Amino acid sequence: MSSAQAITTTTTRSFENIRLRLTGNEGPFGDWRDDLVRDGYAIIKNAIPRERADAYANDMYSWLEDFNLGFDRNNIKKTAREEHLPIINEKGMCWWYSLAHEDFVWKMRAEPGVVGAFEKVYNTSDLIVSFDALNFTFPDRDDIQPNKPWPHQNQNPDTHGFRCLQGLVNLLPNGPKDGGLIVCKGGHLLSERFHEEMKSEPRIPGFFHEWYGYTDAGMKWLADHGLEWEKVCVEPGDLIVWDSRTPHYNLPSSSSRPRFCIYTCYMPVSDVTQEDLKRKKEAYEGYRTTSHWPNANFVGAADATRKGKPCPYNRHRPTRLPQLDENAFKLTGIPYITE
């Protein structure tokens, strides 16, 4: 679909006329939104049917194998090594190689059960989506730096209130020992108080302004105020959503199972500017990755580096170009550009 193509039809959905603000006082709704309001995160079970979730996991394996560097899904112990893989950081994240715009990634972003969860939170079908990273975490990798705890929130501490809902679609069984997302339950509700009381605490440098890292003193504050950390366990096809104010990070695996997931986040078009949409159009047409913020307030580097030099396997377009239907194309934000 051309980036100049206009919307001619719209899928109509009904909503409850409630846009969540995650103040702790909303509901009850009788579904996962009650968990989100109370805990700052929620699991939407079977957002993608298991058969399709398995197909997306297969697509991720095939994408790695198609580099022809020797990676073999049937021999992970020996081949999940940097020399056999595209560059994947110690957190399991891959930002490069135009991966965020592969056709299978876009198909996942347009899954009705995924988009529908965000529509329910924001009370609108006029959403845009992030062009975020994918996660390939393999156990027992000693060829890269260890994954050390990095508790953080993905929201500027100088801004308050609920501004962004993060999400990831889980694609392999993920139990208590398999690594993955850990959250500080209820931390979103104490975020403003935390940042007021801890404003004199030196900040950990972040890669952009919508990020705040928790120091040892910050972690103690959370514990002193009765907040507990919980590892989120999910099955293939489950969607996890969390308030960007909720402290979180990902754990390394202590099992033999890999972890695959696709990060995806949606935001109402009404929350972004025309400049945001133009920047987003450039990222889409350049097959670039963004942060989880759908307004593209951070666009990642086009090229990965390998041993201090540009990776010789860098790609600047997907191996399979995205084939977007009308509703998926709306998620790019391009049809909403009016200037």
Question: pLDDT tens for residues 223-249?
Answer: 999 999 999 999 999 999 999 999 999
Across the range 247-255, mean pLDDT stands at 95
Any domain includes 182: yes
Sign, Cα dihedral of 20, 25, 27, 30: positive
Domain count, the chain: 1
Q: Quick one: pLDDT at residue 216? A: 97
Could you give the percent of the chain with pLDDT greater than 70? 96
Token pair belonging to 94 = 């891959």
Write the pLDDT tens digit of every residue in 8-50: 334 444 457 899 999 999 999 999 999 999 999 999 999 999 9
Any domain includes 32: no
Any domain includes 44: yes
Any domain includes 15: no
Kindly report the pTM of this predicted structure: 0.94
User: Which range of residues forms the domain containing residue 194?
Assistant: 37-336
Any domain includes 17: no
Report the distance separating Cα 204 and Cα 70, nearest Å.
Answer: 38
Q: Is 268 helix (H, G, I), strand (E, B) or coil?
A: strand
Other beta carbons within 10 Å of 213: 15
Q: Distance of CA 114 to CAs 20, 101, 108, 168, 218, Å?
A: 17, 17, 8, 9, 33
Write the pLDDT tens digit of every residue in 144-193: 999 999 999 999 999 999 999 999 999 999 999 999 999 999 999 999 99
Any domain includes 18: no
Share the mean pLDDT of the chain: 94
* pLDDT tops 50 at residue 201: yes
CB-CB contact of 244 with 155 (8 Å): yes
Q: Which of 32, 266, 15 is nearest to 120 (CA)?
A: 15
Any domain includes 3: no
Q: Quick one: pLDDT at residue 2? A: 39
Kindly report the CATH number assigned to the domain that includes residue 82. Answer: 2.60.120.620
Write the pLDDT tens digit of every residue in 46-76: 999 999 999 999 999 999 999 999 999 999 9
Q: Quick one: pLDDT at residue 15? A: 53
